[in-house]
Structure 1
């Protein structure tokens, strides 16, 4: 039952409690209690609207590899604090391998990215190297997690 609720809500979080209850063959109050329990236990972290980046004029997606000067807890902490403030930064991940971080940034176009690069990215603390990749086409972009339980 939990997995069915999670799958249904991942596909359409705006589904009404009445429609979800009918889908699950539950009464609306029972359905509502189950969804509330999923929220309390953090299986449902939040319910959001997915906005259209092109319509909002931030259609360019830039992937950025970051290498820090040093791999110390302090340098990681300073970088992460600053990365959270980068305009249009959608994701930032510590990664294993030949670089330290992977960032996803949304911006309007190459000119606005160039401005972001010169005004913010170059000043991120502890950075030795930035490699930016402007995407040409999004083949797949999903917010739906695989439910393997």
Structure 2
């Protein structure tokens, strides 16, 4: 069990601000959360050391890199065993354009979220990689017509 103290209001304010723009200077962040720059930097470092902030990334606009087609793929496996799940998950980690892979309860075993250039590129991905993933019995594909909300920010 984690003996670290719970997040306080200032920690949560820091996390909210960093989720909006992790590239802002520490002095700006400190002013936003009403701390000195030294105290703010110390808090950010503690959040990193505790694993609460586990990495910092740049979010790339999909249309800027010609990856405008977003696809949800539901996958049903032929067996529900730990070995079949492990094999599928290991292979899914290497799937081209796969942004997310989730084991779910319901009519499918997994949902994959993929980004690709267009329908033709997805068809190649489907035929060349997705149906060849270990244990795949059935695939259900859902093409996104319009993205209503897409965020990485958690409601802290």
Normalised by the shorter chain, which TM-score bucket? Answer: over 0.9
For residue 98 of structure 1, the aligned residue among 97, 103, 107 is 107
Which structure 2 residues correspond to residues 34-49 of structure 1 after superposition, within 5 A?
Answer: 34-49=43-58
The whole-number CA distance in structure 1 between the counterparts of 2:34 and 2:155 is 24
1:1-149 matches, within 5 Å, as 1-147=10-156
In the alignment of these two chains, the number of paired residues is 147
Could you tell me how far apart the structure 1 residues matched to 2:39 and 2:81 are? Answer: 50
> With structure 2 as the length reference, what TM-score do the two structures score?
0.92
Q: What SS does the aligned partner of 1:62 have? A: strand
Q: Distance in 2 between matches of 1:144 and 1:131?
A: 28
SS, match of residue 132 in structure 1: strand
In 1: Cα distance, 2:115 partner to 2:106 partner: 24
- 1:25 Cα deviation from its structure 2 partner: 2.1
User: SS of the counterpart of 2:70?
Assistant: strand
CA deviation after TM superposition for structure 1 residue 47, in Å: 1.1
2-side partners of 1:26 and 1:105: how far apart?
40
Unaligned segments of structure 1, at least 5 residues: none
1:33-77 per-position Cα deviation (integer Å, ceiling 9, x unaligned): 100000110111111110011110111001000000010000000
RMSD: 0.7
Structure 2 gaps, min length 5: 1-9
